[in-house]
Structure 1
Amino acid sequence: MTAENSTFGRYGPGGSRPSLDAVRVPVRFGTVVDAGLGVVFAAAVAFQAYQVADVWGARYWPFGAAVAASVCVLALVRRVSPLWTAVAGLTVAVLAVLVTRLVHLPAEPSPAASLGLAVLTGSALRTLPARGACVVGGAGLAVVAGGLLAGPGSAVPVLSGLAWLAGVAVGLGLRLLAARHRAATELVRRAERLELARELHDVVAHHITSIVLQAQAARLVTAKHPDRTADSLAGIETAGSEALAATRRAVGLLRDTAPAPEGHERLDELIERFESHGRRASLRLDAEPSGWPPEVSSTVYRVVRESLTNAARHARNAATVTVGITQHDEGVTVEVEDDAPQAPALRYRRAGYGLAGMRERVEALGGTLTAGPRPGTGWAVRATIPTGEPPRP
């Protein structure tokens, strides 16, 4: 195993250990998408106005441009209310179809307006409940049909139909992916609950056994030294309080999402197993695990195990993985960091279901777990778990 100071020396006391709070948060994907849509919408409206003015005449383009711009703006603010922005966009499109039919303007919905309607339809199908999504999808189809009836022989309504189909396909595809993600997350949570249910007996048995042994000892002490009865009862009371606290923590874990056969004593085995595949790792244990509650010890082990598993899968170019465990007044902090070169795909791929399960377990104990890229290079997982008592001197 790599010597402790070989990797952790620069992060030790007086060092400059990076904090996940200082990690630069990537720009939200949705913001980038909306910015790109804004550019596409503006280009589509301008190009359409130019084509209408060139073919129909200069006085025909303002109406179509106004309709298209209105629908596109609604598409850009769709996140405020997917239902009502979709309803407003479809209403504008219906009115435009009626007006063009009455005053013989170019066919509606125009290509630029159809693009905005496709985005509104896809967003509604992706996010709304089934009934609302079906209503919006059906209303979009009705608008396309109305355009075909108002402008027979024109290619514009055909383009509107193709845009509607694309919006429906994308919206349903994203909806199915989101449903699959929720189902997979629920499976992880259910597996955690089942595992915790199996382990609950061990948590309770650990503390109850201590109470029983102390009660038996108290009977013997009372028989021979009655003056020591108070001390024996105090010990039983302490053990009972610890049992009650551990039981509450375990029940909280079961309700939201013990000692396990794994614990802090097997951390060295994790490091050795990780290094057996040709990778370097180091462990810094700045704590006294013997004073931790069993469920805290188990959770620390599992956080380290899952983090090393993720590093083995997604940080194959990492030279070293460092594991740091520090005890403080509030509890225990676990940090697992690698120095693999950054890759954009890893920002999302490495936040998998295993970490979702760990987050459930850590948060149920009153702690926090975060994961994200480190400044410059590498990935870091940081978990803070309360122990319910200050560290021993």
Structure 2
Amino acid sequence: MNTTPRWARPGRAFGDVALAVVLAAVLVATAVALATSWGGYYWAFGIAVGAVVSGLALLRRRNRFVLAIAALAVTGTAIVVARIVGLPEEPAPATALALAVLVASGVRRLPTAEATAVAGGGLAVVAGSWLAAVPFLLAPSPVSAVCGVSWLTAVAAGLGGRLLVARREAAVERVRRDERLAVARELHDVVAHHITGMVVQAQAAQIVAARGPGEAARIAESLAGIEVAGSEALTSLRRVVGLLRDADDASPVAPGPESLSALVHRFGDRGPDVRLHLSDDAAAWPTEVTTAVYRVVQESLTNITRHAPQARTVTVDVRHVPDGLTVEVSDDAPHAGVRAARALDTGSGYGLVGMQERVVSLGGTLRAGPRPGAGWSVVATLPLAAEELR
């Protein structure tokens, strides 16, 4: 099956036509030169060998390894026959050029073992041409020198192309990995937060319902909260799906300072009292910093909901420091019971890992742990200078 992109096929076809024209011109020039210097039909053998190897070079994409080995075998045989019969020295220039194309193509595209075999076969042809020269001299003949230069050029071109392909594939893999991490963070940070809120509201509704039929209003309030959280989760899922399908289809994913206030307000409606201290110039922060601040606060509040239900007060403090911006989320829950489980969870939970990756990618730092006496805190420091965010 042809895996060449459709847009690249005309360029390859043009390259093959140009190569065919060059090989044909070299064959004709070689035939004329041999007919003039040697006379008779001494040129016929070399031109026939050159035509065969040139044809294999033009067909190289069908099976690079087999055709390269076949061309090397034909050339090696031609060197031996020319030495025994007393014909002009091989390989002729057209043959050397065609071999160079096959060697370069094989070194660039074939697996390591096969590429090494093709390059080694080319070196054997160079050595054979030098050893078969009549008379034999320590210094290579002009034909052997041309063959050696062609082989060196082919190997260098093949290795260069192979390196470019490897770098391109590595770059593509890095982009894919970064995209997977970004989507994973969005799914965890956004969707998990809303689903956690739905679970808490549902648990609250069950507790209120157990108290008696007179709590209908509070049950309705919890159900309304579940509906809102579910709608937000669906919106977040659609946004992430848009990111996966096409970045142009996705809605903006950079929450502003007003979104941070709304997040804290929603949390306070269904959990402990939350105090937000937000710097006055929040609207001027870079987009990536605004998003990182929102995600750190969101994940920290989600962790409080999961692991610190005894917390009565939560403080969210976003302020300027000499080195940039500091985000601190702290609570006053006791260190016993679920707090111990929470401490264990932070070592392997994806939430802390996601926060760490996001903050570190911006040149910042993150630390999380128990506070003296009681409570838990998450502190992230982010740079605001543009050169530090690159």
* TM-score when normalising by structure 2: 0.52
Determine the C-alpha separation between the residues in 1 that align with 2:17 and 2:203: 72
What pairs up with 1:268-307 in 2 under 5 angstroms? none
Q: What residue is the counterpart of 1:116 in the other structure?
A: 98
Q: What residue is the counterpart of 2:162 in the other structure?
A: 175
Determine the C-alpha separation between the residues in 2 that align with 1:57 and 1:36: 30
| 1:182 shift after superposition | 1.5
Q: What residue is the counterpart of 2:177 in the other structure?
A: 190
Correspondent of 2:143 among 146, 156, 162: 156
Q: What residue is the counterpart of 1:262 in the other structure?
A: 254
Counterpart residue identity of residue 144, structure 2: P
Q: What residue is the counterpart of 1:37 in the other structure?
A: 19
Counterpart residue identity of residue 183, structure 2: L
Pair 1:55 & 2:30 matched: no
Does the 8 Å CA contact 1:96/1:108 hold for their aligned counterparts? yes
Q: What residue is the counterpart of 2:61 in the other structure?
A: 79
Counterpart residue identity of residue 88, structure 2: P
Deviation string, structure 1 residues 206-261 (Cα, Å, up to 9, x no partner): 54156347636865996538x99xx98x96997699499779969989xxxx9984
When Rg is computed on C-alpha atoms for both structures, the one with the higher figure is: 2
Does the 8 Å CA contact 2:49/2:95 hold for their aligned counterparts? yes
**Identity within the alignment, %:** 45
Aligned length: 240
Determine the C-alpha separation between the residues in 2 that align with 1:103 and 1:173: 39
Determine the C-alpha separation between the residues in 2 that align with 1:128 and 1:240: 51
**Closer, same or farther: CA 93–25 of 1 in aligned 2, 3 Å:** closer
Question: Which structure 2 segments of 5+ residues have no match?
Answer: 1-5, 136-140, 210-214, 257-390
**Closer, same or farther: CA 102–119 of 1 in aligned 2, 3 Å:** same
Does the 8 Å CA contact 2:26/2:94 hold for their aligned counterparts? yes
Counterpart residue identity of residue 123, structure 1: S
Counterpart residue identity of residue 262, structure 1: A
1:57 is paired with a residue of what secondary structure? coil
**Closer, same or farther: CA 194–61 of 1 in aligned 2, 3 Å:** same
Counterpart residue identity of residue 200, structure 1: L
Counterpart residue identity of residue 130, structure 2: L
Does the 8 Å CA contact 2:89/2:143 hold for their aligned counterparts? yes
| 1:188 shift after superposition | 1.9
Deviates further, 72-81 or 53-62: 53-62
Determine the C-alpha separation between the residues in 1 that align with 2:79 and 2:203: 88
| 1:190 shift after superposition | 2.4
Does the 8 Å CA contact 1:82/1:128 hold for their aligned counterparts? yes
Deviation string, structure 1 residues 254-283 (Cα, Å, up to 9, x no partner): xxxx9984279xxxxxxxxxxxxxxxxxxx
Counterpart residue identity of residue 130, structure 1: T
Determine the C-alpha separation between the residues in 2 that align with 1:149 and 1:30: 37
What pairs up with 1:1-393 in 2 under 5 angstroms? 25=7, 28-152=10-134, 154-209=141-196, 211-212=198-199, 215=202, 219=206, 223-224=215-216, 242=234, 261-262=253-254
Counterpart residue identity of residue 163, structure 2: L
Counterpart residue identity of residue 44, structure 2: P
**Closer, same or farther: CA 29–262 of 1 in aligned 2, 3 Å:** farther
1:28 is paired with a residue of what secondary structure? helix
Does the 8 Å CA contact 2:190/2:236 hold for their aligned counterparts? no
Determine the C-alpha separation between the residues in 2 that align with 1:84 and 1:152: 31
| 1:30 shift after superposition | 2.1
Q: What residue is the counterpart of 1:271 in the other structure?
A: none
Determine the C-alpha separation between the residues in 1 that align with 2:227 and 2:34: 89
Determine the C-alpha separation between the residues in 1 that align with 2:79 and 2:22: 23
Determine the C-alpha separation between the residues in 1 that align with 2:154 and 2:13: 19
Determine the C-alpha separation between the residues in 1 that align with 2:235 and 2:190: 8
| 1:102 shift after superposition | 1.4
| 1:176 shift after superposition | 1.1
1:151 is paired with a residue of what secondary structure? coil
Deviates further, 62-71 or 191-200: 191-200
| 1:205 shift after superposition | 2.7
Q: Relative CO higher for 1 or 2, CA cutoff 8 Å, sep ≥ 6?
A: 1
| 1:195 shift after superposition | 2.8
Determine the C-alpha separation between the residues in 1 that align with 2:227 and 2:188: 22
Question: Which structure 1 segments of 5+ residues have no match?
Answer: 1-23, 265-393
Deviation string, structure 1 residues 82-123 (Cα, Å, up to 9, x no partner): 111110110110110111111111111111100000000000
Deviation string, structure 1 residues 15-48 (Cα, Å, up to 9, x no partner): xxxxxxxxx9576332222121111011111111
* TM-score when normalising by structure 1: 0.51
Deviation string, structure 1 residues 273-318 (Cα, Å, up to 9, x no partner): xxxxxxxxxxxxxxxxxxxxxxxxxxxxxxxxxxxxxxxxxxxxxx
Determine the C-alpha separation between the residues in 1 that align with 2:9 and 2:107: 25
